[in-house]
Every structure is written in C-alpha cells, then in structure tokens.
C-alpha cells in the first residue's frame, strides 16, 4: 500500500481518466496540457482544449490509444488522475505500465473495491459495518436473523450509491441478491464525509461535509463540536495512514455513532455532489487547482475556512415525463441562492436516478451560519416543485 517516492516533476502533460469540466478549467488556468480518456460514451460537450480525448468501454483500447499518442522521445505524463470512481483501478494500472508517479494498481484496488477496503479498515481496528460478499454458499436467512432489517446490497466497485439497494423484506432482498455483490448491515448513525488534500506525506487540508439530506443535500463545513472535530481529525489521519495515502485528494465516508466513528468507504479521487464547489465558496481557494498542483509536485494553494457556509441541493424529482415546474421565480429571489441550474425543460423525459450523481439540475446556496444555509436548502426543496408523469410499467 506504499506509494512511490514523492518528488517534483518538470513534465507538464497530464492524463485525466474521466471527464469533469472544472478539472479541465483548472488545468487550463495553470497552463497544463491535458489528455482525457473516458471509460464509456462520449462526454458532452467535448471541449477543444484537451490535446487528445478518447472514449471506449475497453480499457485495452484506451491503453493502446494513449500509448500510441506519444512520439519517440516524448517524456510522457507528469501525472495520471482518476476523476471518477470507475477509473481508479485503471489509473493504477496505467501508472504501473507507463512508469508514472502515483498510486499503484494494488493500492488503488484497496481504495476502490468495497470489500477490500472494509477488510483493510477492520484489520487496522476501525469499526466497520458487518458485511460479506455474496457467493453461492452465502446463507441469506442466517444474515437476516443475524443483522436484521434493512440489509443493504451494493456493487463492489461503484460510487455515488450506484447499484445500492435498501432491502426491507425478504422479497426485496431476493430480487437484489446476486453473486459477487456486497451485502451489508445498516449502521445506526449520522453519515457524513471528510475531504483531505495530502502533499509530501502530510494532510494539508481537511473539510467536514454534512449530508443534510442523504444523497440529495450537502453542507460545508459540517456543524460539529470541538471534541467531535478533534476526534474526526485523528480518525481521518489514522485511516489515511492505514491505507498508505501520501498525496492527492481523498473522500472518506463515515458514520457518527454514540460509540464513535464507523468507517464507511474511502475514495482516492475528487468527490462528486458539488462538494468541491462548496469548498471553494467556504474556504476561498479552488480545490481543483490544488489537486493538480499536488499531482505536479507543487506546493498547493490553500487557505483556512473563511467563516462562510455553503450548501448544494442535487435535484432529481424522479423518472418520467416532466410536466410542470413551479416556484422557480421564488427560489431565484432567495438571498442565499448563488446558482440555480436546471438541465431539462417541460415535455422532456427524466431518466431514473441510478446513483446520487445523477441530477436534472442543482442549486448552490451560501450564508453566514450553518442554520441559515440549512433552512435555505429546506425552503428551496419546498418551493421548487416538479410535476412528473411516471413512466408506464
């Protein structure tokens, strides 16, 4: 789980695995050349800025295209960054193959596959949810009796609640039960996350994110007592040390319980949920630039908390035909609103929400207190109303 030796790199070309426009914007502002490789369909819109952009469902094809893009004597990439959860193991493989500084494939796998990361956490004496990977011999009835309801079914290597199913009875569990998936007991606690920026083997920045509404609303920074904050700072550092994380950005999900924090999952890539936007508003620096500076071996631009709170509402009213939107003018008049973006119009079909990163739009709020932003988020949800015709079964 050790990373390669950290050091300054003079080469200026980066490879992004995954398409995130704010990462491209930050690279451009820093004068860095960028190639992009996407495991999946063509991103939209495709910017003209990157040197090359490739997209395929095949890692082998993408690897071939990447390798063939170099002229003889080309020094290669200064860094390879996974910008999506799906690309984390692929990034490790490419670094190993191309001799690029950063997390190896073996370490990336431990921070990607949920069963492996939870096993690492448990071996290092962190509390984790009861879990097991389903195989043909897994006794469903035994787990129901042992862990109770609900039981949670997850894909081993997906993020943003993709593939997650909360099962409240046996019929739901039978439908979701598949060999290779992870089945997990529910943790009774308040879920939240910790974002960190590491440089030179040290944690240089830490943020606590409150999940004001799980999978729907995030608020930065979380409202915690001094004692809990200090406990979580220590917990976070011990987790990152256990996984051998030396540099880059991490997103640690955990549960606050009466018995202390419970490890949830650890991501070694910039999080979604508009958390980086909220960090920029509340702290006054661009975390995307900091991520790229760290990747280049440069001291990151950071600043302390400004005293400002910010929140994001990730909007998705359910699948079906969008018939009516009400309350838009009212929400636009809210003093806490910084941005409202809706990506669909009436008459268009809304696809099912297969993960928390799927949205039809979002709203960003800011204020001088946690409670002010929390109330604005709740009021916005009550004000902006969508009428959706459910798709026929």
Q: Is the pLDDT of residue 10 over 50?
A: no
Nearest one of 16, 81, 110, 33 to 294, comparing CA atoms: 81
pLDDT of residue 167: 95
Q: Is the pLDDT of residue 5 over 50?
A: no
Q: How far is CA 237 from the centre of its chain?
A: 19
Overall average pLDDT of the 214-229 stretch: 97
Write phi, then psi, for 358 (nearest 5 degrees). -85, 125
pLDDT of residue 129: 93
Q: Is the pLDDT of residue 73 over 70?
A: yes
Q: What is the pTM of this model?
A: 0.93
pLDDT of residue 338: 98
Nearest one of 157, 4, 27 to 87, comparing CA atoms: 157
Overall average pLDDT of the 262-273 stretch: 96
pLDDT of residue 354: 83
The pLDDT-based confidence of 4 (bands split at 50, 70, 90) is: very low
The mean pLDDT value of the chain amounts to 92
Overall average pLDDT of the 112-130 stretch: 94
Q: Is the pLDDT of residue 366 over 70?
A: yes
pLDDT of residue 392: 67
pLDDT of residue 2: 41
pLDDT of residue 9: 46
Q: Is the pLDDT of residue 50 over 80?
A: no
Distance CA 44, CA 40 (A): 12
**Which alpha helices (H) appear in the chain, and where do they start and end?**
21-29, 59-68, 88-98, 105-110, 114-123, 140-147, 170-176, 226-242, 275-283, 287-295, 328-332, 370-383
Q: What digits encode the pLDDT tens for the residues 150-194?
A: 999 998 766 556 778 999 999 999 999 999 999 999 999 999 999
| Better pLDDT: 38 or 50 | 38
């Amino acid at each position: 789980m050790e990373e390669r030796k950290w050091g300054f790199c003079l080469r200026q070309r980066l490879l992004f695995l995954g398409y995130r426009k704010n990462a491209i914007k930050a690279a451009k502002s820093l004068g860095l050349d960028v190639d992009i490789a996407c495991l999946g369909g063509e991103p939209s819109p495709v910017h003209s800025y990157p040197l090359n952009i490739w997209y395929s469902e095949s890692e082998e094809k993408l690897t071939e295209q990447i390798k063939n893009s170099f002229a003889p004597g080309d020094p290669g990439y200064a860094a390879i960054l996974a910008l999506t959860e799906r690309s984390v193991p692929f990034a490790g493989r490419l670094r190993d193959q191309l001799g690029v500084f950063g997390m190896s494939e073996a370490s990336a796998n431990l921070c990607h596959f949920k069963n492996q990361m939870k096993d690492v956490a448990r071996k290092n004496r962190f509390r984790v949810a009861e879990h097991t990977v389903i195989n043909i011999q897994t006794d469903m009835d035994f787990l129901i009796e042992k862990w109770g309801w609900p039981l949670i079914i997850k894909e081993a290597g997906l993020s943003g609640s993709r593939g997650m199913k909360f099962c409240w009875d046996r019929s739901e569990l039978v439908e979701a039960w598949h060999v290779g998936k992870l089945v997990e007991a529910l943790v009774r606690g308040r879920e939240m996350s910790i974002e960190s920026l590491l440089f030179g083997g040290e944690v240089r920045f830490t943020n606590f994110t409150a999940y004001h509404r799980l999978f729907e609303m995030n608020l930065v920074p979380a409202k915690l007592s001094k004692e809990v904050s200090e406990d979580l700072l220590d917990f976070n550092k011990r987790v990152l040390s256990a996984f051998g994380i030396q540099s880059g950005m991490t997103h640690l999900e955990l549960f606050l319980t009466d018995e202390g924090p419970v490890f949830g999952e650890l991501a070694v890539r910039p999080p979604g949920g508009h958390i980086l936007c909220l960090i920029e508003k509340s702290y006054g620096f661009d975390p995307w630039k900091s991520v790229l500076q760290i990747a280049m071996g440069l001291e990151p631009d950071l600043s302390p908390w400004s005293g400002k709170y910010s929140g994001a509402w990730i909007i998705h009213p359910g699948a079906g035909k969008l018939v009516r939107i009400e309350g838009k003018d009212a929400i636009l008049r809210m003093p806490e609103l910084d941005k409202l973006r809706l990506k669909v119009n009436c008459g268009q079909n809304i696809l099912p929400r297969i993960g928390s990163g799927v949205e039809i739009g979002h709203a960003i709020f800011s204020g001088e207190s946690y409670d002010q932003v929390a109330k604005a988020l709740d009021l916005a949800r009550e004000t902006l109303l969508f009428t959706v015709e459910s798709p026929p079964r």
